[in-house]
Amino acid sequence: MFFAIIKRGGAGDLLYQVQAAFKTYGNCLTSQLVSPGSASKLRRKCSEEETSVLMIERHLKEQGMPEIVEIPAVWLQGSACSGCVVTLLNSFSPGASSIVLRELAAGKHLSIRFLATAMAGSGAKVLDVLHDETVKDKGKYVLVMDGSLPVAGDMFATLGEQDGQERPVRDVAAELARDSALVVAMGTCSAYGGIPAGAPNPTGAISMPELLAREGISTPIVNIPGCPPHPDWFVGTLVATAMHGLEHVASRLDEISRPLDYYGKQIHETCPRRADFDAARFARKFGDAGCLYELGCKGPVTYADCPTRMWNSGTNWCVGAGSPCHGCVEPGFPDDLSPLYRKIEEERLARFQVLGDQGAE
């Protein structure tokens, strides 16, 4: 919330006081996590700085500053490559720092309380933060699940310990999902199982929706597949949730719980090489002009807005770079869509039938 205050609190000495107080307070909290040995002295210092921040906040409220609503979020990782975290950090508009430090939507601030890959602290201290924050915000927080959940044994994908034993992340995910307001399955591994669940699947990896069904958890879930997903797909979904509520977002999902605003149109229909397909002008080797269908393009069975949104701040996308679409947002990825560079066998794909344009108006 304090970052939102910095943005909207006005100019002059007060703004500098807010910035300085919060910077010092933030450094104190980080130091406690990194250097717990000097905790007593640090706690006293942090308490003083927290008091300063709270006093400034109270003053701003007295001046008529509107309340900023916090949207708490925790981000867990299972069997994953960290690509989904990297894609969040690559968000362009808004940038990653703006997502964390500023309002996500008018009067709404996304407060990411736990994200192991991108946070400074580690070990028992941050796991205490994860526990305390989710208990405090029970029924209010968003759980972002990144990666699949192994169920073939307790040695795969663990997070912390319980009674001296490593705790499988599937148990943590189920516990947090049960008490969350919304679950976001970030990436294909979380949404469908993805590469970790590919044959022969030695870890027994399952998707987050499968885990919820297995545990009898009815918390609403939104799938944001992709290997990795485009950052806009994740950020845009959270913005829509903040602005319009869960019911609106739920009404805009396809039959496999993906937002239609991003996954509502077939890549084949919006691909700039569609005219080559219609004219039967097919590339015979990589680097040739023409449609890449004969070289394994999965655009005819893939639903996403990659051709129009593009990646790396709108710079390019797979087909634009001369590569076939691999269909990474689809439930059959990778097994049903392999070999990646061989012409697709339509009869193997349950979703090959065109669903029609269901995208954003």
Whole-angstrom distance, CA of residue 156 vs CA of residue 184:
22
Tell me what the mean pLDDT of segment 87-105 comes to: 85
CB 50 within 8 A of CB 36: no
pLDDT tens-digit map of 298-317: 999 999 999 999 999 899 99
Q: What is the CATH number of domain 68-259?
A: 3.40.50.700
pLDDT tens-digit map of 14-26: 444 444 444 444 4
Write down the residue that tokens 């516990």 correspond to: 175
Q: What is the CATH number of domain 264-361?
A: 4.10.480.10
180 Ramachandran zone, left/alpha/beta (phi>0; psi -120 to 50): beta
Q: How many CB atoms lie within 10 A of CB 361?
A: 3
Q: What is the DSSP letter of 305?
A: -
Catalytic positions are 81, 84, 189, 227, 268, 271, 291, 297, 306, 318, 325, 328
- pTM of the predicted protein model: 0.80
Q: Tell me what pLDDT residue 306 has.
A: 97
Is residue 355 pLDDT above 60, yes or no? no
pLDDT band, residue 98 (cuts 50/70/90): confident
User: In the structure encoding, which two tokens stand for residue 347, read together?
Assistant: 């009869």
Q: Tell me what pLDDT residue 93 has.
A: 81
Domain boundaries defined on the chain = 1-65, 68-259, 264-361
Domains 68-259 and 264-361 share a fold: no
CB 18 within 8 A of CB 5: yes
Q: Tell me what pLDDT residue 204 has.
A: 97
Contact residues for 212 (Cβ-Cβ < 8 A; gap 6+): 174, 177, 183, 218, 219, 221
CA dist 1 → 6, 131, 156 (Å): 9, 20, 36
CA-nearest of 144, 172, 143 to 158 is 172
What is the crossing angle of helices 124-136 and 13-34, to 10°? 120
